[in-house]
A and B are shown apart, each in its own frame.
Chain A
Amino acid sequence: GAGVSQSPSNKVTEKGKDVELRCDPISGHTALYWYRQSLGQGLEFLIYFQGNSAPDKSGLPSDRFSAERTGGSVSTLTIQRTQQEDSAVYLCASSRGGAADTQYFGPGTRLTVL
């Protein structure tokens, strides 16, 4: 079946603009994760959705970052008032939903903030 998809694959924006990144998980997967990969920080967890439970937002770096998941499927990560340090690859992953089930990753969105 289809894997995790993300759009756009690349996004260039100007400092101060808002951006939205989209993730389509594998069909039937109830858990969805966002991670960020940057040169200085490696791979960092951002936020986790599991079914209808409240999301785990413990990894979001600031209140400029938010995410939602509609209908238990598609998720959107929004970054408001982007800063240059937000430049990174944003990775989405999904899993069947059990604790520590294998996470399958999408191709990522490369965000460049000028």
Chain B
Amino acid sequence: AQKVTQAQTEISVVEKEDVTLDCVYETRDTTYYLFWYKQPPSGELVFLIRRNSFDEQNEISGRYSWNFQKSTSSFNFTITASQVVDSAVYFCALSGVDNQGGKLIFGQGTELSVKP
């Protein structure tokens, strides 16, 4: 069975701090994809990144970076120099290609609060 675990339910930081959101996944598929989505207070899920299981290179996009480690089945997300606008719920998701047809399995989400 596929599963995504985001152990951190809520995180609170002060602006300009760095913060890492953890994501651990389980799958038997050999080919799979991992995603991060942001859900701001407005409610709409915003796509952040998609990474396939054969690409373990870390990725950086501005203040955002992602660390994918197959050895520990983790796909962690770091925000550098956090800002108030980063306050949102962040979801990690898994999609298995072999058997799942592309549907997303979501973690429970981490609510990030960035205070000024």
Contact = CB atoms under 8 A, between A and B. Distances in A.
Interface of A: 31, 33, 35, 42-45, 48, 50, 56, 59, 89, 91, 93, 95, 98-108
15 contacts: A33-B103, A42-B108, A42-B109, A44-B106, A45-B103, A48-B102, A56-B101, A93-B45, A95-B102, A100-B32, A100-B97, A100-B102, A102-B35, A103-B104, A105-B46
Nearest to A97: B102
Q: Which of B91, B97, B103, B104 has the most CB of A within 10 A?
A: B103
Given A43-B104, A43-B106, A98-B102, 10 more contacts: A33-B104, A45-B105, A91-B45, A99-B95, A99-B101, A100-B96, A100-B97, A100-B102, A107-B43, A107-B44
A41 to B, nearest CB: 10
B33 interface: yes
Q: Which of B44, B93, B106 has the most CB of A within 10 A?
A: B44
Contacts of B104: 33, 35, 43, 45, 103
The bracket for how many chain B residues form the interface is: 20 to 34
Contacts of A106: 44
Contact of B95 (A89, A100, A105): A100
Nearest to A102: B50
Interface in B2-28: none
Contacts of B97: 99-100
Contact of A89 (B32, B43, B107, B108): B43
Contacts of A93: 45
Nearest to A59: B103
Contacts of B91: 43
B106 A42 contact: yes
Contacts of A104: 47
A61 to B, nearest CB: 15
B5 to A, nearest CB: 12
